């Protein structure tokens, strides 16, 4: 189950569903996908790839990330970049408050 909490804490595991759709709104599997996780100061903490995610169904993936015990308080930015077999590239961002 993916928790939809508003504020997360150090040491917890943050989970989120990532859905990839084409321009017509059809769920599709990407050729590649990266999720770059940035600290509140803008530095990159880590980058996840498609192989780090759990596939639930076509175009739907579950991301889990353990928040470091020493994570800085503030807004963490997650940038999802997906490339489709058509060559289209989609980029979305979301934030996590600690």
pTM to 2 decimal places: 0.89
Q: Read off the pLDDT of residues 18-71 as tens digits, 9 standing for 90 and up.
A: 999 998 999 999 999 999 999 999 999 999 999 999 999 999 999 999 999 999
d(Cα 93, Cα 26) in Å, to the nearest integer? 20
Pairing of strands 32-38, 75-83: antiparallel
Residue 8 confidence (pLDDT): 87
Residue 4 confidence (pLDDT): 60
Show Cβ contacts of residue 83 under 8 Å, excluding neighbours closer than 6 positions. 30, 31, 32, 33, 89
Domains, the chain: 13-97 (2.60.40.1930)
């Amino acid at each position: 189950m993916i928790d939809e909490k508003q504020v997360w804490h150090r040491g917890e595991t943050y989970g989120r569903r990532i859905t990839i759709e084409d321009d017509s709104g059809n769920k599709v599997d990407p050729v590649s996908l990266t999720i770059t996780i940035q600290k509140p100061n803008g530095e990159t903490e880590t980058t996840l790839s498609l192989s780090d995610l759990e596939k639930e169904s076509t175009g739907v993936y579950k991301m889990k990330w353990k928040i470091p015990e020493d994570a800085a308080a503030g807004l963490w930015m997650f940038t999802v970049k997906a490339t489709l077999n058509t060559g289209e590239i989609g980029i979305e961002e979301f934030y996590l408050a600690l």
